[in-house]
Each structure stands twice: as C-alpha cells, then as structure tokens.
Structure 1
Amino acid sequence: MEKPLMIALDFDDLAAVTAFLDRFPDPSQLTVKVGMELFYQAGPAIITDLKKRGCDIFLDLKLFDIPNTVRQAMAQIGQLGVDYVTVHSLGGSAMLKAAKEGLEIGAAKAGVDAPALLAVTELTSISDEVLKNEQHAALPMQDQVLALAQMADQAGCDGVICSALELTTLNAHLRPDFLFVVPGIRMQEDQTGDQVRVASPDQAAADGAKAIVVGRPITKASDPVAAWHRYQNAWQG
C-alpha cells in the first residue's frame, strides 16, 4: 500500500496474534508491525506466519550497537523478506551505513528485496523536558529530529520514525521520497497511553506523513476491524 497504516502487534505470543488477525476477512490488506516483545517471544516464526497471510511486515527491533554488530544482525534480518526495519539514529552515521550494508548483503543472499531502512529519531514518549534534562541535547526537539533525519538520509536510510509534530519541518528540508513513519497516532477520543507527542491520523496525513503506526486503539478495541476502518478512513481521507 502506498500510504500504509501499520498495526502494532503488541501481543505476548503467536497465539494472540493469530486470534487477532483471524478477525480480519482479508489480512493481506494489512501492514503489521512486529516489535521486540513479540519477536523475542516467537522469533522468526512470526514472520513466516505473517508472510503466509500476505501481510506487509514492519520489523521494529530498533538496533543500536557498534557498526559491525549491527551489520551482522541486519545481514540476518535482510534474509527474512520483511518490508521495513528500524535502527536508532543516535548510533551515528557509521552504524547507519553498516545497517544498510548488512540488509543488502542478507537480502542478496536470500534472493529477496532489501527492506526499507528507517532510523528512529526521538521516541514519541520523549518530551522536550526529557530531551533537555535527561538526554542533555543541545538542540530543541524540532532541530534535534531534523538533524538526526538529515544524518540518516546522508547515511543511506530510506526514512525515519518521527512524531507528527516534526513533519512540517522535515518535509521542508528532506527529499520528497524520504519516508516519514509516524507512531503516536490517536483519535481525540482515544487515550494517549505512554505517548507524549501524539496526533490524529488526519493531522498526520495533512502534514505529510508517509505511513502511520497505530497499536492499542485497534488491537485493544472491542471490534478491531471497525477500529481499523475508522483509522484507515481518517488516514486515507
């Protein structure tokens, strides 16, 4: 899908994922996010299951280590046939370049397309206060995210994870085909949980997001399919 809505599958195990996805008439319409909780429990088997269902897959493991370790890990991930993966931009340009190299090596070995490499800028749970007083960043949030995104672009990444609040700045300074993937998406009537920098799907779309990530408002809904359609309609306009 050109502008995917990514459902965050924040479940404990494969059985819970199966029960959730079985409620959708056509899971091949879905883009789903597999994070650390699920992947560490189920391992690559979850990717195999999702591929059988025809889902597009965002493997969100947020690698953050020395360049060689990240390169070797991404060489393994590149063989899985997923569509998107993440690293932390704070690992620096050498690590980001190594991640890209590893993905290409792994994908070539498996004969699959390399996934898009997305660099996490600042987590949407990070407030301006935390950025200043705990991370001791010299830049305000908008400038910090922009600097990290520009570094990621120069290092060969295909896009970044950012909040909707930085989209206007990023769109003004980065190439049109750079991917801006936005978590922390909530309708006004939904609880924000541990997210701080949040926005509605229609606001994210208007400000230039290329994809959004929605978790609990869909996965914890009494009718997940209806919730997915509600968010999808707001997102796609």
Structure 2
Amino acid sequence: MKEKLIVALDVSTREKALRLAEQLWDKVGAFKVGMQLYNSVGPDIVKDIQALGGKVFVDLKFHDIPNTVSQASRIITGKGAFMFTLHASGGKEMMEKSALAVQETAAEMKITKPIVLAITVLTSISQEVFQNEVGIQRPIEDQVVEWAKLAQNSGIDGVVASPKEISAIRKACGPDFIIVTPGIRPLWAASNDQKRIMTPKEAVQLGATYLVVGRPITAQEKPGEAAQKIVTEMEEGIHA
C-alpha cells in the first residue's frame, strides 16, 4: 500500500527536499515536485531525488498551445519522471500530441513511459468559486467527469481530481483509469487551504489509485511515522 502514497515536497530549498526524501524514500511510493520546489532550485532536483532511490512525480501542470506542451512533455519524459501533469482544459489536441510525444520519447530512449495525468478542477476550488469566479455553471463533479473522459479519449493515462469525484470518474472511465487524489487529510491533520477533502481510508475505499499528501507528513516532527500512520489508514480502507 505504501506504493500508492505520494509525498508532496512543497518546500523551497534543495536541502529540505532531500532531507525529507532521505527520511521517506523507503516508506512511500513517490515524491511530488511541484512549481514551488522546481522553480526554486531547478530541474536537477528530479535526478537528485532519483539518486536517493525515490520516484518523482513532476507536477508542473502544463497548459499552453499543443506544440509547446508536447515539447515540454518530451523533456520531462527524458528526465525519467514517474508521472507528470498537464491541464485537461487545454483541450484534446494538446493532450493527444503530448501523449504521442511521451510514447515516442520513451521508445527512442528505451526508458519506462511516465504516467501522464490531466488536471481537472483544483481541490482548493469550491462550487461557489467555480461558478462565480471561474464562470462555469455546471456542478464541479459533472465538469470533472467530462474532462476525465476527454483525457481518456486523448490517450492520457489518468487524472488528478478531488477524492469527492472518485466514484463518478470510476463509473465513467472504468477500473483501469488512474485517479490521483490530493486533498487527502487524515482525521488528525488540519485541512489548510484544501476545500474538497477526504481521509486516506475513505479515498482508498472509493477507488483512488494514488494519494498525494503534503503537510500532514512533511510538517511533522517525525515525517516517517506520519507516513506510516497514513499507510495504515489506507490499508484499513482496503480491508474494510
């Protein structure tokens, strides 16, 4: 079950990131490197974490014209990323060209193809914000499902979505479609800025493929123990 747990390294220095990676590499499945860390210390952080034995989920949420995103996808593939993200709202052509670029690059370099994930609706966005500020009037769950189906039809491996939408995505996209869920908060942790959240046990029971957890692990005095507590909660979800 630990392979399903991804730790978000939402820190700003190489030293903090590698300290956490050293403490956690054998207790979790992968590490998420997002915009904060990547833009603070540069792309070499990916290989630094890999050198410690950790798999890296590069979460830069690409969203641009199809050619730009497909070329960026080639670069991230060449870095040996375990996973990376682009926005489903970028459209079918953008996702199709990126999926093809990843397949071609992995074949040319004879490396394992990364999992390509489409971002749906960020877990920090509530229904009120979605309607009044983003300007989309349909329920978040309906929009998430539409983007998940579009991603699947474009050759994308899975989506990043709130745990609240897991069941609807599973129903629409089937058992093999990958669902990565941030917004995971154990009962003993603060929700912080996440709005659509769920416990590790609940998310696993609903069918999440991977869970992304940041501060409930990284902000703890003993992050390894916190990670193990979450893995235990995930195992309870499987056996419930």
TM range (shorter): over 0.9
| Letter matched to residue 204 of structure 1 | A
Identity of aligned residues (%): 36
Structure 1: 5+ residue runs without aligned partners?
none
- Does 143-152 or 42-51 show the bigger shift? 42-51
Q: Is residue 139 of structure 2 the alignment partner of residue 140 of structure 1?
A: yes
What's the RMSD between the two structures over aligned residues? Answer: 1.6
Distance 2:23 2:114 in 1: 27
Distance 1:180 1:23 in 2: 26
Q: Which residue of 2 aligns with 1:119?
A: 118
Distance 1:164 1:29, change over 3 A: closer
Contact 1:124 1:197 in 2 (8 A): yes
Q: Which residue of 2 aligns with 1:41?
A: 40
Contact 1:161 1:180 in 2 (8 A): yes
Contact 2:2 2:231 in 1 (8 A): no
Distance 1:193 1:129 in 2: 18
Structure 1 residue 2 displacement after superposition: 8.3
Structure 1 residue 189 displacement after superposition: 2.4
Structure 1 residue 29 displacement after superposition: 4.9
Q: Which residue of 2 aligns with 1:22?
A: 22
| Letter matched to residue 115 of structure 2 | A
Structure 1 residue 107 displacement after superposition: 2.1
Structure 1 residue 222 displacement after superposition: 1.0
Q: Which residue of 1 aligns with 2:101?
A: 102
Distance 1:171 1:22 in 2: 34
Distance 2:3 2:202 in 1: 14
Structure 1 residue 110 displacement after superposition: 2.6
Q: Which residue of 1 aligns with 2:166?
A: 167
Structure 1 residue 135 displacement after superposition: 1.4
Structure 1 residue 3 displacement after superposition: 5.1
Q: Which residue of 1 aligns with 2:90?
A: 91
| Letter matched to residue 234 of structure 1 | E
TM-score if structure 1 supplies the norm length?
Answer: 0.94
Contact 1:70 1:102 in 2 (8 A): no
Q: Which residue of 2 aligns with 1:218?
A: 217
Q: Which residue of 2 aligns with 1:5?
A: 5
SS of 2:212's partner is: strand
User: Which has the larger share of helix?
Assistant: 2
Contact 1:35 1:61 in 2 (8 A): yes
SS of 1:151's partner is: helix
Distance 1:227 1:86 in 2: 26
Distance 1:2 1:114, change over 3 A: farther
Distance 1:2 1:156 in 2: 27
Distance 2:78 2:194 in 1: 32
Distance 1:56 1:193 in 2: 26
When the two structures are aligned, how many residues end up with a matched partner? 236
